[in-house]
Amino acid sequence: MNRTAEVVIIGGGVTGASLAYHLARRGVTHVVVLEKKFLASGGTGRSIGIIRQLYPTQEASQMVFRSLRVFQSFRERVGGDSGYVGCGALIGVSEHMLPALKHSMEVQKATGIRAELLSPNEALSIEPRINPQGLAGLVYEPESGYGDPSGVTMGYARAARDLGVAIEQGVEVTGIRLSGDRVVGVTTASGEALDAPVVVNAAGLWAAIVARLARAELPIVVGRHPVFVVKRPAAFGPSHLVYLDLAGGSYVRPETGDLTLTGSLTEDETRHPMDPELLGSEVGFEEAAVALERTSQALPSLADGEYQDGYAGAFDITPDWMPILDESPIRGLYIAAGMSGHGFKLAPAVGELMAELITEGRTTINRAPFRLDRFAETRARGGSFVSSYLG
Ligand SMILES: Cc1cc2nc3c(=O)[nH]c(=O)nc-3n(C[C@H](O)[C@H](O)[C@H](O)COP(=O)(O)OP(=O)(O)OC[C@H]3O[C@@H](n4cnc5c(N)ncnc54)[C@H](O)[C@@H]3O)c2cc1C
């Protein structure tokens, strides 16, 4: 006889772990998480974990606001360490981006997010090392910062296990079993069949591949997003906050050991599709030089830093750079994927929303911007990374 579960979750990244926990908290404890490698071995383990709170829609703002509260009190709420560091974040924009920034800040205000609009000169009093040239305004978010995506995954997984969830690592799902228009279970690489009326595709960078097991297509591109590690020069002084320079196209986030993680916000990920198996592979010296030049423009005193390392990361990107959180046209087969580079900061709220959807068929936060069928409308097809901040 086949093993049975109420819910099978495919993927043990931060999304799958958060969902498993939230289902169990709602009393759905016969949940099995199947992870082909090990927990957080996908995009989650390569993430730099920035938490910023600037989104152009009420729904995404509510999601990040709820998630931040969880990161801030993770030990008490979930257990374990979220690694949250509330160093603050500055997000700089050019003249032509300023009206859109002001609009997103209205949304922030309505959501209760703490944020302040600063002139470039005012921003220098918070972080004197940024280069104000080319900036027309900046939003300062004092509670933003970064967290530890692997730590959050482990925290959720441990808490879910304590509530009865089975987490099986080294188990690859190789088949999704259907009966008519509904899902009835999965099969694994070892040939085992599991019966379940609900299966969730939380396979991150592999979500489109997993969808094809059910003969379904997802509008997700895996786009390369390399990360570079720089040792700050001694003269740099104390650590810095998170700085996202949307005008110049770069970001920095501090790391322990006088290190800074940096990369580009040039929105060219979709032009560089990547095989997810190349996650973590080496980056070329030339591309590092180009990215670090951009970083030095944003934060000139980092120009004397020492390049340490780099690796290929990737995002699972939808056409509007927003996640898909929905039941698929195949009944019982749910999708929590296409995180488009926001999957860490939104993970607590994503798990909560998906658990509500699966157990009650309704959600507290309006789910319309995350529905799969939104891509039928032209409006949802032309997004960019910057549009996920500014609309
Ligand atoms: C370099 C980089 C920087 C990032 N920076 C940020 C940031 O600053 N802030 C932020 O909020 N987000 C950021 N992100 C995005 C965020 O980290 C991801 O969106 C999030 O971690 C995705 O989690 P996930 O669980 O959806 O997917 P993944 O972490 O990719 O997990 C999916 C899991 O599914 C498993 N799997 C796949 N196929 C199968 C199968 N057939 N059977 C069983 N298991 C399977 C994989 O092994 C994997 O562990 C970044 C990501 C990267 C890569």
Please report how many Cα atoms fall inside a 13 Å half-sphere around the Cα of residue 15, on the Cβ side.
Answer: 33
Contact status, residue 197 vs residue 306, Cβ threshold 8 Å: no
Contact status, residue 159 vs residue 78, Cβ threshold 8 Å: yes
**Distance between Cα 157 and ligand 1 center (Å):** 15
pLDDT-derived band at 389, boundaries 50, 70, 90: confident
pLDDT at 378 over 70: no
Share of the chain above pLDDT 70, in %: 99
Q: Rounded CA gap, 135 and 381, in Å?
A: 29
Contact status, residue 260 vs residue 240, Cβ threshold 8 Å: yes
Q: Rounded CA gap, 173 and 175, in Å?
A: 6
Q: Name the residue with the closest Cα to ligand 1, atom 27.
A: 204
Contact status, residue 150 vs residue 45, Cβ threshold 8 Å: yes
**Distance between Cα 142 and ligand 1 center (Å):** 26
- For residues 355-378, average pLDDT: 94
Q: Rounded CA gap, 129 and 371, in Å?
A: 42
DSSP letter (8 states) at residue 281 = -
Exposed, middle or buried: residue 285 (CB in 10 Å: 0-12, 13-18, 19+)?
A: exposed
Q: Rounded CA gap, 92 and 167, in Å?
A: 41
**Distance between Cα 39 and ligand 1 center (Å):** 10
- For residues 154-177, average pLDDT: 98
Contact status, residue 205 vs residue 42, Cβ threshold 8 Å: yes
pLDDT at 180 over 90: yes
Share of the chain above pLDDT 90, in %: 93
Q: Of 380, 366, 318, 343, which is closest to residue 62 (Cα–Cα)?
A: 366
**Distance between Cα 164 and ligand 1 center (Å):** 24
Whole-number pLDDT of residue 157: 98
Whole-number pLDDT of residue 313: 97
Question: Which atom of ligand 1 is nearest to 34's Cα?
Answer: 43
**Domains of the chain by range and CATH?**
3-48+150-219+320-390 (3.50.50.60), 86-143+221-317 (3.30.9.10)
**Distance between Cα 238 and ligand 1 center (Å):** 31
**Distance between Cα 124 and ligand 1 center (Å):** 35
- Classify strands 198-201 and 333-337 as parallel, antiparallel or unpaired: parallel
pLDDT-derived band at 266, boundaries 50, 70, 90: confident
**Distance between Cα 121 and ligand 1 center (Å):** 37
pLDDT in tens, 181-193: 999 999 999 999 9
Contact status, residue 177 vs residue 165, Cβ threshold 8 Å: no
pLDDT at 267 over 80: no
Q: Of 4, 9, 1, which is closest to residue 336 (Cα–Cα)?
A: 9
Tokens for 88? Answer: 């603050």
3-class secondary-structure state, position 72: helix
pLDDT at 380 over 70: no
Q: Name the residue with the closest Cα to ligand 1, atom 25.
A: 13
pLDDT-derived band at 388, boundaries 50, 70, 90: confident
- Average pLDDT of the chain is 96
Whole-number pLDDT of residue 379: 63
In which order are the strands placed within the sheet that holds 3-4? 3-4, 193-195, 182-188, 173-179
Out of 344, 346, 388, mutate this one to test ligand 1's pocket (max ligand atoms within 8 Å of CB): namely: 344
pLDDT at 75 over 90: yes
Q: Name the residue with the closest Cα to ligand 1, atom 4.
A: 47
Whole-number pLDDT of residue 1: 86
Q: Where are the alpha helices (DSSP H) in the chain?
A: 14-25, 43-46, 58-72, 74-77, 98-111, 120-126, 149-162, 207-212, 285-298, 347-360, 387-390
Residues with CB under 6 A from ligand 1: 10-16, 34-37, 41-44, 46-50, 149, 172-173, 202-206, 210, 225, 227, 313-315, 339, 341-345
Whole-number pLDDT of residue 166: 98
- For residues 306-323, average pLDDT: 96
- For residues 357-385, average pLDDT: 88
Whole-number pLDDT of residue 381: 62
Q: Rounded CA gap, 106 and 231, in Å?
A: 37
pLDDT at 245 over 80: yes
Chain centroid offset of residue 331 CA: 26
**Distance between Cα 247 and ligand 1 center (Å):** 27
Out of 36, 53, 281, mutate this one to test ligand 1's pocket (max ligand atoms within 8 Å of CB): namely: 36
Q: Name the residue with the closest Cα to ligand 1, atom 35.
A: 11
Contact status, residue 16 vs residue 154, Cβ threshold 8 Å: no
- For residues 308-332, average pLDDT: 96
- For residues 234-248, average pLDDT: 96
Q: Of 186, 182, 181, which is closest to residue 201 (Cα–Cα)?
A: 186
Contact status, residue 259 vs residue 229, Cβ threshold 8 Å: yes
pLDDT in tens, 45-72: 999 999 999 999 999 999 999 999 999 9
